[in-house]
Amino acid sequence: MLSWARTWRLLPGGLELPRICFSRVPVAPSSSSGRSGAKPRRSVPLSYKLLDGEAGRPALVFLHGLFGSKTNFNSIAKALAQQTGRRVLTVDARNHGDSPHSPDMSYEAMIQDLQDLLPQLGLAPCVLIGHSMGGKTAMLLALQRPELVERLVAVDISPVNTITSSNFPAYVAAMKAIDIPEKMSRSSARRLADKKLSSLIQDTAVREFLLTNLVEADGRFVWRVNLDALAQHVDEILAFPPQQESYPGPTLFLLGGKSDFVHPSHHPEMKRLFPGAQIQIVPDAGHWVHADCPHDFMAAIRGFLA
Q: What are the residue numbers of the active site?
A: 132, 228, 287
Which contacts (CB < 8 Å, 24+ apart) does range 36-44 have?
41/104, 41/106, 41/108, 41/109, 41/112, 42/112, 43/109, 43/112, 43/113, 43/115, 43/116, 43/117, 44/94, 44/99, 44/100, 44/102, 44/113
The whole-angstrom separation of Cα 38 and Cα 172 is: 29
Determine how β-strand 4-5 pairs with β-strand 149-155. unpaired
